[in-house]
Amino acid sequence: MRALRFEDNRLRLADVGVPARAGEALVRVRLAGVCNTDLEIVRGYAGFQGTLGHEFVGEVLSAPGASELVGRRVVGEINAGCGTCELCRAGDARHCPARTVLGIAGRDGAFAEFLQLPVINLLPVPDEVADERAVFTEPLAAACAVTERVEFETGARAVVIGDGKLGLLCAQALTVLTKATVTLIGRHESKLGVARRRGIETLKAGELTRDHERSFDVAIEASGSKTGFAAALRLLRPRGTLVLKSTFHGTTELNAAPVVVDEIAIVGSRCGRFAPALELLRRDAVDVESFIQDEFALDEGVRALERAAEPGVLKVLIRP
């Protein structure tokens, strides 16, 4: 099969064998999405070598012990656990110490004609959710995951920093799932417009004034920028909560003084469960179609990632 691989610091298309892990489902990839994490891996994040891609919708070709899935459209949670540790036995492999992660750690990903995941990772896609929406399940689940880490009180003020894909999804998900008042801060009028069409308050980064400082209960840093951390600290009230969503290659300087003085809680948030995200997509509760800006065949995969890395681009899709 054809696959888009990152090996020896080089991104290239390659002919590789169809994956054949014993006991796992085989999925034909129908559509895959390019994520900022894919771009960061190419820059050195996570030290991954292999087939990239973790956002996908596909069709099950074989599923040991779950024949009812064969022929169904599915999405797949990306963390594959050992199945025996305490976390896996509790049904959540996201922090299994021996886990592999689709297209990110120890497991070839979705920029290929076929992929494999454990059957337990697969969720059927509702018939009314088109592929072009279903492919957003993984990043939308990551946005929903903020509510697993932070309890939003009624009337809380939340600010999302960054108007990229993840920031837009976080702002929409929090508006639907919580009783907080959500504000999105970004730099791009066209992207902020996506949020405004969903009734979300927006601010240009240059419009922030002293009145905005120390006025939010929760700040979600989703800018992918080293400056986002400092901006969040300025906006948070004392004893507020900072949620870190961005992953990128590099280091962030931390001025710990305001964290200590204002007793700020810093919370990491990574992968989310897929079922809540699929339900939001089924209900058409979030806008994802506006994100799609280009689509490439798998044979144009290198160009797809180049396009996704261009300034201002939201979502690029790859269709094997």
CATH of residue 223: 3.40.50.720
Domain that holds residue 13: 2-141+272-319
Percentage of the chain with pLDDT > 70? 99
Q: In what order do the strands lie in the sheet with 100-102?
A: 79-80, 100-102, 106-107
For the entire predicted model, the pTM comes to 0.95
What is the percent of the chain with per-residue pLDDT over 90, rounded to a whole number? 90
pLDDT for the residue numbered 214 = 95
Q: How far apart are the first and last CA of the chain?
A: 10
7 and 132 housed in the same domain: yes
Same domain membership, residue 173 and residue 58: no
**Total count of domains within the chain:** 2
Together in a domain, 12 and 92: yes
Mean pLDDT estimate for the chain:
95
One domain, residues 259 and 292: no
Region of residue 32 (left: phi > 0; alpha: psi -120 to 50; beta: else)? beta
What's the average model confidence in pLDDT over 73-98?
96
Tokens of 127: 């018939």
Q: What is the CATH number of the domain that holds 86?
A: 3.90.180.10
Average pLDDT over residues 296-316: 97
Domain match, 282 and 133 both: yes
Instruction: Show the tokens assigned to 78.
Output: 């990306």
Residue 103 has pLDDT above 70, yes or no: yes
Token representation of residue 178: 């919580």
Residue 246 has a pLDDT of 81
| Pair (72, 176) in one structural domain | no
pLDDT score of 93? 95
Instruction: Please indicate, yes or no, whether residues 86 and 184 belong to a single structural domain of this protein.
Output: no
Show which of 268, 293, 311 is a domain's final residue: 268
Q: How far apart are CA 107 and CA 101, in angstroms?
A: 6
Torsion sign (Cα): 244, 149, 140, 203: negative
297 plus 188 within the same structural domain: no
If asked whether residues 9 and 156 sit together in one domain, one would say no
Residue 228: the pLDDT is 85
- The yes-or-no verdict on residue 249 having pLDDT over 90 is no
What pLDDT is attached to residue 252? Answer: 73
Cβ 317 vs Cβ 165: under 8 Å: no
Q: In terms of domains, do 100 and 63 share one?
A: yes
Q: In this predicted model, what pLDDT tens digit does every residue of 10-55 receive, in sequence order? A: 999 999 999 999 999 999 999 999 999 999 999 998 899 999 999 9
The alpha carbon of residue 46 and the mean position of all alpha carbons in its chain are separated, in whole angstroms, by 16
